[in-house]
Amino acid sequence: MQGHLVKRSESAWTIVIDLDRDAAGKRRQKWITIKGTRRDAERELARLLHERHRGSFVEPSRLSFAEYIEQWLAFVQTRVAGKTFERYSEIVRKHLIPALGQIPLTRLQPLAIQGYYAQALESGRRDGKGGLNPRTVLHHHRVLREALRQAVAWRLLAVNPCDAVQPPRPPQRELAVPSDEQVRALLDGAISTRLYAPLLIAVGTGVRRGELLALRWSDLDMTAGTVAIRQSLEETISGLSFKSPKTAKGRRVIALSPTLIAGLRKHRAAQAVERLALGAGYEEHALIFCEPDGRPWKPSKFTTQFIELAARVRVRTHLHMLRHYHATALLKAGTHPKIVSERLGHATVGITLDTYSHALPNLQEAAAAAFEANLRALGIDS
């Protein structure tokens, strides 16, 4: 016998499931209380026996969702970047646990998750001023789905309830890529400041902020005209740290134009003067872009200084948009998307095309015009 029912009262039944024997050969059983009619209990018994027959039966546990997801956070802490872990922790502890934490893990149903998403969209802001952005709730869904995927792997759940949930679908945002005139205004406004050289490289290479501030002189090959992206500077509540790129494509070598090389030569000469002036007070980290005393430049401080510059020259944009400007300019100039993808460090060229194709409405027309020559070579003429 694999399972049977025990009547507890007029509206309560206990399902007894026979489990595999333990290491000593002792018989094991799992007792599960069900409230309802005998037919309800029989249906649940049949379902559990079917799962056991398929090998997907998971022994019910008293572990709550809150207890489980805290264990999951401890598991992923050493497997993701520090900034990513901070974001996961914020989502879990400020949103998911308050909404779902009291539910036993094995009783967490798609309906409860769907209800949380609806509530978050309507009134999920912690300051009480309305709902969360659909993109934010979508990120909550991705974190929750990943956490429950691990619960399935650990055989705490038979299936992932997130698989049966419809997350929000945020409208695709058009990239507000700065114009040539705006980029020129930013560089002109920064020319007498410490921001000029790093912004010149950001515009000319499309590197991310953390990658830019982690560059060392040993990464630069002036003769070959290249710079190697080997690490990124990360800022968390614990401080600053250098980390490796999260994907193999993130480690890359980018070709530099002559203007960028010339700008770096001037910057190195100015940095050498600062180093001599400070003497023993200069911290030697061999960073290309750093504080005047050689210490790493905090990413948050760098962004603040950029915002102040943009306000001063009356350009409304974000620092990360310089990366989008670089990619867009290359694609408009006819650079192959695979080359653009390699310069940006995207995992696949598909990411590049998905990100930038809608920002280049002239590509379809250009493709049609280019193929016209092929049609004429085939003797097809309107």
Give the residue with greater pLDDT, 184 vs 382.
184
Of 39, 49, 48, nearest to 7 by C-alpha is: 39
What is the rounded CA–CA span in Å between residue 5 and residue 13? Answer: 7
pLDDT band at 230 (very low <50, low <70, confident <90, very high): very high
- Residue 314 falls in which region: left (phi positive, over 0), alpha (psi -120 to 50) or beta: left
Look at the block and give the residue holding tokens 């005393």. 293
Is pLDDT above 60 for 202? yes
Same topology, domains 65-164 and 180-316? Answer is: no
Question: According to the model, what pLDDT value does residue 154 have?
Answer: 85
Question: According to the model, what pLDDT value does residue 63 have?
Answer: 84
Radius of gyration of the chain (CA): 29
Is pLDDT above 80 for 347? yes
What is the rounded CA–CA span in Å between residue 147 and residue 76? Answer: 9
Is pLDDT above 60 for 286? yes
Give the least confident one: 49-63, 282-296, 311-325, 365-379. Answer: 49-63
Contact between 292 and 193 under an 8 Å Cβ cutoff? The reply is no
Helix runs in 191-335, H state only? 196-205, 209-213, 258-278, 299-312, 321-332
What is the rounded CA–CA span in Å between residue 376 and residue 378? Answer: 5
Give the residue with greater pLDDT, 351 vs 162.
162
Structure tokens at 192: 């007498």
* Longest CA pairwise span in the chain (Å): 89
Task: Look over the chain and give the mean of its residue pLDDT values, rounded to a whole number.
Answer: 89
> What is the tens place of the pLDDT at every residue in 35-77?
888 888 888 888 778 777 666 555 566 789 999 999 999 999 9
What is the rounded CA–CA span in Å between residue 347 and residue 247? Answer: 7
Is pLDDT above 70 for 31? yes
Spell out the domain ranges in the chain.
Answer: 3-54, 65-164, 180-316
Give the least confident one: 256-260, 262-266, 357-361. Answer: 357-361
Of 208, 191, 176, 178, nearest to 302 by C-alpha is: 208
Spacing of C-alpha 129 from chain mean position: 26
Of 23, 143, 167, nearest to 76 by C-alpha is: 143
Give the residue with greater pLDDT, 107 vs 358.
107
Superfamily of domain 65-164: Tyrosine recombinase, N-terminal domain (1.10.150.130)
Question: According to the model, what pLDDT value does residue 382 have?
Answer: 60
Percent of the chain past pLDDT 70, that is, above it, reads: 94
Q: What is the pTM of this model?
A: 0.74
- CB under 8 Å to 379, separation ≥6 — which residues? none
pLDDT band at 299 (very low <50, low <70, confident <90, very high): very high
Question: According to the model, what pLDDT value does residue 62 have?
Answer: 73
Residue range 223-242: average pLDDT? Answer: 94
Question: According to the model, what pLDDT value does residue 368 have?
Answer: 77
Give the least confident one: 203-217, 234-248, 280-294. Answer: 234-248
Question: According to the model, what pLDDT value does residue 195 have?
Answer: 97
pLDDT band at 127 (very low <50, low <70, confident <90, very high): confident
Question: According to the model, what pLDDT value does residue 175 have?
Answer: 79
Contact between 258 and 267 under an 8 Å Cβ cutoff? The reply is no
Percent of the chain past pLDDT 90, that is, above it, reads: 63
> What is the tens place of the pLDDT at every residue in 130-177?
999 999 999 999 999 999 999 988 888 888 999 999 999 988 777 789
Is pLDDT above 60 for 251? yes
Residue range 75-95: average pLDDT? Answer: 93
Question: According to the model, what pLDDT value does residue 56 have?
Answer: 58
To the question of domain 180-316 being in CATH 3.10.20.520, the answer is no
Question: Strands 226-229, 252-255: parallel, antiparallel or unpaired by DSSP?
Answer: antiparallel
Q: Exposed, middle or buried by CB within 10 Å (0-12, 13-18, 19+), for 179? A: exposed
Of 209, 217, 208, 192, nearest to 294 by C-alpha is: 217
